[in-house]
Amino acid sequence: MLFQVGGEGTRPTFFEMAAAQQLPASLRAALTYSLGVFALRRSFLHKILDYEDEFFAALMLILEGHSLRTTDASFAESLYGLRRKSVRLRLRKDSVRKDSGEEVQHSGLEKRQRILSVVFLVVLPYFKSKLHAIYNKEREARLRESLWGAEDPGFDEADFFTGDDSIVSREPSGNEELSVRVQLATKIKKFIAVCYPWIHASSEGLSFTYQLLYLLDATGFYSLGLQALGIQVCRATGQELMDTSSRISKIRNHERERLRGPPWLKTVQGALLSCSYAVLDYAQTGLIAAVFIFKMMEWWYQSAEERLSAPTVYPPPPPPPAPKMAIEGIPLPPNRSLCALCLQTRANPSVVTVSGFVFCYSCVFKYVSKYKRCPVTLIPASVDQIRRLFHDT
């Protein structure tokens, strides 16, 4: 079996399909980097970066919808001269050899296929990025819980300066009983944290399988989504490229003819349509230039020679062993989230740097001030060697 690496026929090569698939990711990286640079001088752009997923999804929704409507191809596929065509399999019989086979017939995309193509190109990747973000937050929350416990009250300096020895819960009274909506959201997030790795692994496995079969010329579909929609990607012929230009002109003329109202209103509406068409054309050109510039900068700042000459990155060394607990020291409680001094949930967790053990700030401050040592290991310490531990809430 031969790999398909040539450029003959209407079937795109594996490298063309891979390049078209990776173009949206490169486009998003280029836009994010550009907005990050401009946001250093224009602070209002940070609001766009805060909603990066929604901004990019809306942009791709406009581009993909316009491209599928005018060229029967996605935005990336149209740049590589590719077209999407509906596939119909017809049973073929040979009367001489008395065998049968399947003949593939291509036709233009239907309206349903264009809408579902937008769903697979824009909507599903958007939800996947959101699920990935929720999974990362839940994983970080579990890590924080394992380090600091399920509850971590905020730092209140009033208790320290007043010398109150009692540990008072600082949680608002309204959070004692979670509402039904919060409980449901928490269960959904936990369910996503459990199921998302399996969903992601299955998706990546199916994608790899289809790409491998496409590379081996065992299937005409590059992905499961294309096969579900009954669509194959083909190279555009010269006549199809010429027909695309005339098709775009016909669509725009037809939209101008559908304008209703007084003559002056038609003139205004026509001018707005022309401006929107110009914006779309310039946006496509600008996005192509942005990707090209981003790739040039990536190549310029990270050349092959630099990567080859870079020093070998070794894994970090293992952490040092835990200090031995003194026999006369204070024993540690079985629950790691409790303070060894007050045996309650740690409030304002703080670490003694000479030993690494964590206590309540007020508890360990008073103990070290009085005894000048770590409560557990009895290693000499001072209040200057107490450090507060912070984490994102």
H or E element that contains 54: helix 52-71
Phi-psi region of 261 (alpha: psi -120 to 50; beta: other; left: phi over 0): left
User: What is the mean pLDDT, run by run of 10 residues, along the chain of 393 residues?
Assistant: 48 88 82 80 81 88 84 84 78 46 64 89 90 86 68 41 42 54 82 88 91 89 88 80 66 65 69 70 65 65 54 69 83 87 89 90 92 91 89 55
What's the confidence (pLDDT) of residue 174? 46
- Taking a C-beta distance cutoff of 8 angstroms, is the pair 330, 340 a contact? yes
The single residue listed with the structure tokens 């079985």 is 334
Query: 3-class DSSP state for residue 314?
Result: coil
**How high is the pLDDT of residue 48?**
82
Contacts 24+ apart (CB under 8 A), 153-159: 153/345, 153/347, 153/348, 154/348, 155/348, 155/361, 155/388, 156/347, 156/348, 159/347, 159/362
DSSP assignment of 220-256, as one string?
S-SSHHHHHHTEEEEEPPHHHHHHHHHHHHHHHHHHH
* Concatenated DSSP letters of 60-110: HHHHHHHHHHHHSS-HHHHHTTEEEEEEEEEEEEETTTTEEEEEEEEEPPP
What DSSP character marks residue 120? Answer: I
Cα separation, 166 vs 60, in Å, equals 57
Please state, in angstroms and rounded to a whole number, the distance separating the CA atoms of residues 118 and 124: 9
At residue 180, the pLDDT reads 78
CA nearest neighbour of 278 among 242, 236, 248: 248
CB 214 within 8 A of CB 20: no
Through-space distance between the first and last CA atoms of the chain, rounded to whole angstroms: 56
pLDDT, tens digit, 9 for 90 and up, residues 31-79: 787 788 788 888 888 888 888 888 888 988 888 888 888 888 888 888 8
pLDDT at 363: 92
CA–CA separation, 366 and 230 (whole Å): 72
Helix (H) or strand (E) holding 358: strand 358-360
The tokens describing 361, both together, are 């700030």
